[in-house]
Amino acid sequence: MKKSQTQTTSLTAEMDLWGQTLASQLDIASRDLGHDIGERLRIARQTALKSRPMPQRLMRHSLAVQVNGTLSAQPDEGLNFWRILVSVLPLLALVTGLLVLQTLHQDMADSDIALLDSALLIDELPPDAYTDPGFLQFLKIQIHQNTRHD
C-alpha cells in the first residue's frame, strides 16, 4: 500500500513541477503582450482555475489504476455482508459439485458390485470359475451386454 502511495505522490509532484514550469513560461511570454491582452489572459486563467475538477476527484480516479496496470479498490471500501457472500459463493458451488460427483461415482460403483453379485448368485457355476482371474471381467461384459439388450 505504501508503494502505491509513494508512486501517486511522485506522480503528483511531477505534475506540479510540470505545471509550474509551464506557468513560468507563460508568464515570460505574456510580458511582451499589451496590457489589455494580459488582463484577458489573467481573467481566462482565473476562469480555468475555477472550472477545473476538484483534486480529490482526480486522486480517486488515479488510484483506481496502479502503475503496474492492476486495478485497486477505493481506499474507503470495506467488506460488508454482500461482498463476503459473493466471494464465498464460488467456493460453495465448487464444494457442492464435488460432493455430488463423489456421490454419483459411489452409486455407480455400488450398482456395479450389486450386478456382479446378482449374476454370481443366479448362475450355476463350477467352483473353479470363482478362482479364475478373468471371470469378473467376463461377468462385467456379460452384464453390460444383457442390460443393452433389455
One digit per residue, the tens of pLDDT, for the chain of length 150 reads 455 556 667 777 888 888 888 878 877 777 777 778 878 878 887 888 787 766 554 454 444 556 566 656 555 556 678 888 888 999 999 999 999 999 999 998 888 888 878 877 787 777 777 777 787 777 778 777 777 765
| 50 within a domain of the structure (yes/no) | yes
So what's the pLDDT on residue 18?
85
Which residue's C-alpha cell is 484577458? 40
| 33 within a domain of the structure (yes/no) | yes
**What residue numbers bound the domain in which 142 lies?**
81-149
Residues 93 and 133 in one domain: yes
Residues 87 and 144 in one domain: yes
Pair 10, 21: CB distance under 8 Å? no
So what's the pLDDT on residue 13?
81
Any residues with CB less than 8 A from the CB of 115 and at least 6 apart, and which?
143, 147
Last residue of a domain, one of 14, 33, 64: 64
So what's the pLDDT on residue 106?
92
Residues 87 and 119 in one domain: yes
Residues 87 and 141 in one domain: yes
| 23 within a domain of the structure (yes/no) | yes
Pair 11, 62: CB distance under 8 Å? yes
| 123 within a domain of the structure (yes/no) | yes
CA distance 92 to 134: 43
So what's the pLDDT on residue 61?
47
pTM of the model: 0.34
So what's the pLDDT on residue 40?
84
| 55 within a domain of the structure (yes/no) | yes
Q: Domain tally for the chain?
A: 2
| 76 within a domain of the structure (yes/no) | no
Residues 106 and 56 in one domain: no
- Give residue 77's Cα distance to chain centre: 17
Residues 143 and 86 in one domain: yes
Residues 107 and 49 in one domain: no
| 75 within a domain of the structure (yes/no) | no
Mean pLDDT of the chain: 76
So what's the pLDDT on residue 1?
46
So what's the pLDDT on residue 44?
85
| 139 within a domain of the structure (yes/no) | yes
